[in-house]
Amino acid sequence: MRANLPGHGLTTAQRSICAMALCVLSACATRLDPAPVTDLSAHASAPAPTPVNVAPVAPAPVVLAPARPGYYRVQPGDTLLRIARSNGRSDHDLVAWNNLADANHIEVNQLLRVAPPASANAASADEPAPVSAPAPTSAPDNGVIALSWPVHGPLLGRFDDTRNKGIDIGGKPGEPVRAAASGRVVYAGNGLRGYGNLVIVKSDAAFLTAYAHNRNLKVKEGDSVTKGEEIAEMGKTDADRVMLHFEVRHDGKPVDPLRYLPPQ
């Protein structure tokens, strides 16, 4: 008896299909290479990097050199008008000498020229002096100047260098305010808050006098005045009563006017 062999009694097409199936099975059975395995354990167990906070390093403070003579370093709260007034100049001078595009924009620590440059001095020396304007009488720069009383009235407030930079003198509305010393008017206006209608007269390189709260001004910037000449009318602009606030500055610093005025 013959054993039944695979494919016996099959058609030709059936035998072909069986042969192809056997070939595929044999190929799978004889493959010995293991499937690649990727080990992810090392990546899974590695801790995440800890962020490090680096404290910012504060920049070293900038130490500015002191302003040399003829210059001023702007401080917080300064205005160009206040700087000019303290140095016996007009704000127009400071704008020109520092080539400022905007007089209302100055920055803290900015260095400003408060004395005329050499070229300005040379130009003024070449110009002929005006004949009609009287030359101001200058006191020597020795820390002493002889003043006369700008008005005669009761002393309402004394100098104390903190709350009052000058003295306050009472009087009547419209009473003449006279120049305490000869000089040139470097400011005449009401642009300085708290002073009302103000006149500033520069007598020499060291001294200037200031007259505040006036009703009307009789002079303008650039005018030359003589000691005792009427420069304003007494009033109470930016004040709660009629009075003259009178200041004296030496090298830009307020000093007690009573040191330079004769006894009333």
In this prediction, residues 113-123 reach a mean pLDDT of 67
> 209 to each of 1, 11, 223, 235, how far by Cα in Å?
148, 134, 14, 18
Which is nearest to 185 in space by CA: 200, 197, 196?
A: 200
Indicate the pTM of the whole model: 0.54
| Rounded Cα distance, 255 and 49, in Å | 68
* Token reading at 185: 């008017």
Q: Percentage of the chain with pLDDT > 70?
A: 66
**What are the start-end ranges of the E strands in 92-229?**
111-113, 155-157, 167-170, 176-178, 183-189, 197-202, 207-217, 224-225
Q: What is the DSSP string of 12-38?
A: HHHHHHHHHHHHHHHHHHT--PPPP--
Q: What share of the chain is helix, strand, coil (3-state, %, to 5)?
A: 20, 20, 60
Looking at per-residue pLDDT, the higher value among 173 and 22 belongs to: 173
pLDDT tens column, 194-247:
999 999 999 998 999 999 999 999 999 999 999 999 999 999 999 999 999 999
Task: Determine whether domain 65-118 maps to CATH 3.10.350.10.
Answer: yes
- Residue with more model confidence, 181 or 86: 181
Per domain, the residue ranges of the chain are 65-118, 134-264
Tally Cβ neighbours within 10 Å of residue 183. 26
Q: What would you report as the CA-atom Rg of the chain, rounded to the nearest whole angstrom?
A: 46
Top-confidence residue, 119 or 227: 227
Work out the mean pLDDT of the chain and round it to a whole number.
78
When comparing pLDDT for 251 and 167, which is higher? 167
pLDDT score, position 187? 94
Query: What CATH number matches the domain at 134-264, 2.70.70.10, 1.20.1050.10, 2.30.110.10, 3.40.50.300?
Result: 2.70.70.10
How many angstroms separate the CA atoms of 180 and 147, rounded?
5
Tell how strand 243-250 and strand 207-217 pair up.
antiparallel
pLDDT at 138: 41
pLDDT value of residue 176: 97
Tell me the mean pLDDT in the region 106-134: 62
* pLDDT, tens digit (0-9, with 9 covering 90-100), for 149-164: 999 999 999 998 788 9
